Chains A and B, each alone.
Chain A
Amino acid sequence: MKNIGSMLSTIVALMVIWVCLTLNFSISELGLGIVFSVLIAVSTRGGFTSNLFRLLKPARLAALLVYIFFFLSQMVKANIDVLFRVLRPVVPVRPGIVGADIGLRNLRGRIIIANSITLTPGTLTVDLIDDRIYVHWISLPDGDATAETQKLVDGFAKRLEKVLD
């Protein structure tokens, strides 16, 4: 029973989803939800979520909020960027794929960073091999593209690191 924490967090996450979908607080509905959540959590041994209770420290919650806010602002910027590119008479592109190191050991963290980079301005994750991430740029940054890509990845990695450990 070493992963009881992740099993409990699976149950909580599934219950939240259940309540959001049914919007029904009668005892029979909630009971059915608990039965299914426990069944799924036990049969997957909590494989869906890691132990989410580790996030419940104020410092980590604050870091998570900072990360989400940073991510959302980057996403809005990305959309304005795409908007201007698409609406120009000649679409300005100078594409290229650049590699960079993430430097995070946590596998879920790497995936979160890869997905975040896909949704930020001018960049799209093409491949993720071990610790190395390959980013496609709409137009390569002026100057040293390798350093610029590394800077972008580090910006996300540093903020996420505070959430994870």
Chain B
Amino acid sequence: MSALGIIGHVLLGAGGFILFVSGLGILRMPDVYNRMHAGTKATTLGSILFMLGIGCLEPVWLPKLILIIILVILTNPIAAHALARAVHSGPKDEKPDNLERDDLQEERAEGEDLDE
């Protein structure tokens, strides 16, 4: 096996491990927001390492894989942001109640007071 092949397999293994930890984090974290932490950061780096690993094994695909990496970096945080925002503006009894402070909630409440 060539050196590039070994590097490729190591990257594939690392990416797979990080994706596994990400899935485990979604099961283990206590509330919606914290699950989102595990589901965004770890899946992004996991996918990137996976793409690079595939790129080492099949160098011809590298341009396409780099496009995929850029798209993943651009879209993953936006998906997490949309989910977090939806949870925060959703019904009260479905929100996690363990937040120590919530500036967004407070400043929204202040804004509503001013509107009245």
Closest partner residue, chain B, to A135 (CB atom)? B103
How many inter-chain residue pairs (CB < 8 Å) link A and B?
127
Q: Given A17-B67, A119-B77, A124-B80, verify A96-B40 contact (CB < 8 Å).
A: no
Proximity string of chain B (14-51) to chain A, C-beta cutoff 8 Å, 1 when within and 0 when not? 00001001101100111101101110111011000000
- Which of A114, A118, A134 sits near B40, CB closer than 8 Å? A118
Flag whether A32 is at the interface (Cβ < 8 A): no
Taken together as a complex, chains A and B put the C-alpha atoms of A69 and B75 apart, in Å, by 19
| Interface pair B78/A115, CB less than 8 Å apart | yes
Interface size class of A (residues with CB under 8 A): 35 or more
Task: List residues of chain B with CB within 8 A of the CB of A134.
Answer: 103-104
Flag whether A40 is at the interface (Cβ < 8 A): no
- Which of A21, A97, A128, A138 sits near B101, CB closer than 8 Å? A97
Closest partner residue, chain B, to A78 (CB atom)? B41
Task: List residues of chain B with CB within 8 A of the CB of A115.
Answer: 74, 77-78, 81
Say what secondary structure dominates the interface of chain B. helix
Taken together as a complex, chains A and B put the C-alpha atoms of A37 and B113 apart, in Å, by 50
| Interface pair B37/A124, CB less than 8 Å apart | yes
Q: In the assembled complex, how far is the CB of residue A73 from the closest CB belonging to chain B, in whole angstroms? A: 12
Q: Given A23-B60, A114-B81, verify A86-B103 contact (CB < 8 Å).
A: no
Closest partner residue, chain A, to B63 (CB atom)? A20
| Interface pair A95/B81, CB less than 8 Å apart | no
- Which of A23, A78, A97, A122 sits near B102, CB closer than 8 Å? A97
Q: Could you tell me which A residues sit within 8 Å of B by CB distance? A: 17, 19-21, 23, 75-76, 78-79, 82-83, 85-87, 91, 93-99, 114-116, 118-119, 122, 124-128, 132, 134, 136, 138, 140, 145
Q: Which 3 A-B pairs have the closest CB atoms?
A: A118-B77, A20-B63, A99-B103
